[in-house]
Structure 1
Amino acid sequence: MKSRKRFDYAILVPVFVLVVFGLMMLASASSDLGKLKFDDAYYYLKHQVFYGLSIGIVGFLLGLFVPYRHYKKFSTLLLFLTIIGLILVFTPLGSSSGTAAERWIALGPITFQPSEILKLTFILYLAAWLSGARSNRGDNFWEGFMPFLAVCGVIGLLLILEKSTSSVIIIMFSALVVYFASGAKRQYVFYAVFLGVLLMSLLVVFTPYRFERIKTYFDHTSDVQGASYQTNQALITIGSGGIWGVGYGKSVAKQYLPEQIGDSIFAIIAEEFGFVGSTILITAFFFMVLRSYQLAKRVGDRFGRLLLVGFGTVIGIQVFVHIASNAKLIPLTGVPLPFVSYGGTALVVFLTMSGIMLNISKHA
């Protein structure tokens, strides 16, 4: 296979810009919170750089320079270790992020989120499995569809027990896209979608806090100081930015908006940079995801093609869920904005994904 000697700048440039922009936004959005909690306006920025960006650069370089086909050999082991991490969340090593959800593993001063790592390792595993010796697994019911459902079921159950609904949506949707891209029969994809929607509907009906979120989505006046508060404030914050925004560092909502450095950071971006700035940000993500799909069509290697499709989908669906929940296009769900929101694990994962995508781009 002929190899291009240069990486694809249509992916490299957006990644660089988004990381720098994310640090800038974190410095702005977290300043008041840092002063209040730690008497240090740059506490969260420094934490993101030391525990997120520094490790993320290592992951990025590994993804960039280690031949991507090598990851195929270790994909099963990496997924197995990630599943062990998901299980350890329920042991004394597990901790929460201040909500009812148990999503973290704490090892002294270091914490990490297995469900974020899963977005990387599960796509690696699926791409390796579906591009194996039996390249037509996707269109075989017993050798393809049923094993696919089984592994999705195990992972989905662990995520549901962690109360990580957003991760279930992002990971399972991305897995389904990879499965479809592998050549799976459309009827199998339809079966999987139907089963997923049915199970998620039952989950919402029989878990009160999830049902409350759906209720809040359709009636934002039902609990204005409770479940509806974050949704209402995010909408007000987005609207207050107008066309051009109030200016960098001049956000007022960062003083009271819940999750202003994480799940609600897009609202702060819209307030400070307005409709124009928000549109530019969305466009950068859009072209990055679009480029990953374009490169996937040109890569001759099946494993590389499925990785590009999978990673591009993870980034795209996570951006959509984050922005849509802030804008109340979908019910509120906690998910960080890739490369931008506070969270070391997510930044490491997305930088590693980006490195692998650039690695594959040399062969497109």
Structure 2
Amino acid sequence: MEGLRCPKGISLEVADLEWFLEKLNKMFKFKIRHRKPKNPDYVIVVCTVLLVLFGLAMLSSASSNTGKSQFGDANFFLKRQIINGLSVGILGFLLASVIYYKYYAKFALIFLITSIVALSLVFTPLGLTAKGATRWVSIGPVNFQPSEIVKIFLIIYLAAWLSADKNRTKDLKRGFIPFLIVTAVIVGLLLKQPATSTTTILFVVAITMYFMSGAKMKYLALLGLLAAIGFAAVIYSTPYRLERVLTFLHPEENAQTSGFHLTQALNAIGSGGLTGVGYGQSTTKLRYLPEPEGDSIFAVIAEEFGFLGSAFVIILFAVLVFRLIILSKRAPDQFGSLLLIGFSALISLQVFFHIAAISGLVPITGIPLPFISYGGTSLAIMLTMMGISVNISRYT
């Protein structure tokens, strides 16, 4: 173990990890060369920190009544978010920010296989069913949501696969068909849970990455056609999904039944006005608004902080997404560029669908608001994504 001893004079900080990774590079003969990293992109860091801190504050407010009534602790959800999400996420962020991003390409296939296995586990005795959906896996004391892990793993796999051969996307047999098979497997497993909204978002992210890698328009048109047919079939084949669409089209006719969620969300948004009723003063979160700590948290933000507070949150997300897009154009290679494109597409789509659903622009989706909604797996994965983004920024 003498060869793994750090050089004298280097403290056990970032330099240690970077030195150790260089040793791994030589040991496993990855043959990955890179120039000396620069300072990280502080726009990403600041936006991420602000969103996480604001999210914890909002979670404390939005979940206090539910936590107290169901678990006897007003801070129940906040504590779990910090322990299961923030602590793991900070570790993921710090590690990902110093691990050279090109290493992930070497394990892309392993990530894909892990995604398929993880999604399959929900249909075994390890799967947990809640509210009619089986989306969680329980292994001992650890519960996690495989669909959240799949988000980052699928993006890494597609970025590695698409960048390995720049002409692949222009070929039917080597590009389009394999891409279709991989996405179909992931989509099929997600729909079986069911997780329609997550499926839709991941499919759009995959298409975005495929398009940005130079795919032919005829293949994109075919993907769009297949997606439209598949979406219509899924909606009309399952009563509860069709009910959501009908409720979205005529919420006033179902205000006390299937349209209750949307009606209460709109009431909360309307109550906020310009500046809001004040932090912690929301009334709709008490007994009226379903899942105020998760699917409806933006409605609580709008009620307590009004239009100005809501605009501030949206601007933070917009700055983060546009910064990722700018960095994707400056990335040193296509792999890094596609990673940033995938991350930016995922965040922007989740933010859009969450806010649009609560505002009545699209059917209620159940999509969490990144960094803010309750969900330990989601927060940990999002922070890890930002860590990878920070690492890429050090080489732009």
TM-score higher than 0.5 here? yes
CA distance in 2, matches of 1:140, 1:349: 33
Q: Which amino acid aligns with 1:114?
A: P
CA distance in 2, matches of 1:250, 1:108: 38
User: Does 1:30 find its partner at 2:59?
Assistant: no
Q: Name the SS of the counterpart of 1:30 in structure 2.
A: helix
User: Does 1:80 find its partner at 2:113?
Assistant: yes
1:62-113 Cα deviation digits (max 9, x unpaired):
21011110011112101211211111101111012x3111100012332100
Q: CA deviation at 1:279?
A: 0.5
Q: Which amino acid aligns with 2:277?
A: V
Q: Which amino acid aligns with 1:14?
A: C
Identify the residue that residue 204 of structure 1 maps to in structure 2. Answer: 235
1:2-43 Cα deviation digits (max 9, x unpaired):
555111111111000000000000111111111101111111
User: What is the TM-score normalised by the length of structure 1?
Assistant: 0.98
Q: Name the SS of the counterpart of 2:137 in structure 1.
A: strand
CA distance in 2, matches of 1:44, 1:191: 44
Q: Name the SS of the counterpart of 1:95 in structure 2.
A: strand
CA distance in 1, matches of 2:253, 2:281: 31
Segments of structure 2 that go 5 or more residues without pairing to the other structure are 1-33
Of 281, 286, 309 in structure 2, the residue corresponding to residue 250 of structure 1 is 281
Q: Name the SS of the counterpart of 2:293 in structure 1.
A: coil
Identify the residue that residue 66 of structure 1 maps to in structure 2. Answer: 99
User: Does 1:144 find its partner at 2:168?
Assistant: no
User: Does 1:332 find its partner at 2:364?
Assistant: yes
1:113-192 alignment, distance < 5 Å: 113-132=145-164, 134-192=165-223
Identify the residue that residue 282 of structure 1 maps to in structure 2. Answer: 314
CA distance in 2, matches of 1:33, 1:118: 29
User: 223-232 or 140-149: which moved more?
Assistant: 223-232
Q: CA deviation at 1:117?
A: 0.7
Identify the residue that residue 301 of structure 2 maps to in structure 1. Answer: 269
Task: Return closer, same or farther for 1:109/1:222 CA change in 2, 3 Å cut-off.
Answer: farther
CA distance in 1, matches of 2:339, 2:292: 32
Q: Which amino acid aligns with 1:118?
A: V
Runs of 4+ aligned residues of structure 1 deviating over 3 Å after TM superposition are 1-4
User: Does 1:323 find its partner at 2:366?
Assistant: no
Q: Which amino acid aligns with 2:91?
A: V
Q: CA deviation at 1:223?
A: 2.4
CA distance in 2, matches of 1:99, 1:76: 33
1:221-271 Cα deviation digits (max 9, x unpaired):
232222111011011111110000001111111112101000100000000
Q: Which amino acid aligns with 1:313?
A: A
User: Does 1:55 find its partner at 2:88?
Assistant: yes
Q: CA deviation at 1:167?
A: 0.6
TM-align CA RMSD: 1.0
Segments of structure 1 that go 5 or more residues without pairing to the other structure are none
CA distance in 2, matches of 1:160, 1:276: 37
Task: Return closer, same or farther for 1:302/1:3 CA change in 2, 3 Å cut-off.
Answer: farther
Q: Which amino acid aligns with 1:186?
A: M
1:90-105 alignment, distance < 5 Å: 90-96=123-129, 98-105=130-137
Q: Which amino acid aligns with 1:178?
A: M
CA distance in 1, matches of 2:380, 2:335: 22
1:39-73 Cα deviation digits (max 9, x unpaired):
11111101100111001111111210111100111
Q: Which amino acid aligns with 1:41?
A: A
Q: Name the SS of the counterpart of 2:253 in structure 1.
A: coil
CA distance in 2, matches of 1:362, 1:108: 38
CA distance in 1, matches of 2:275, 2:158: 43
Identify the residue that residue 311 of structure 1 maps to in structure 2. Answer: 343
1:290-305 alignment, distance < 5 Å: 290-305=322-337
Identify the residue that residue 49 of structure 2 maps to in structure 1. Answer: 16
Q: Name the SS of the counterpart of 1:103 in structure 2.
A: strand
CA distance in 1, matches of 2:131, 2:392: 38
CA distance in 2, matches of 1:233, 1:266: 12
User: 321-330 or 224-233: which moved more?
Assistant: 224-233
CA distance in 1, matches of 2:318, 2:234: 31
1:318-338 Cα deviation digits (max 9, x unpaired):
010100000010011101000
Q: Which amino acid aligns with 2:98?
A: F
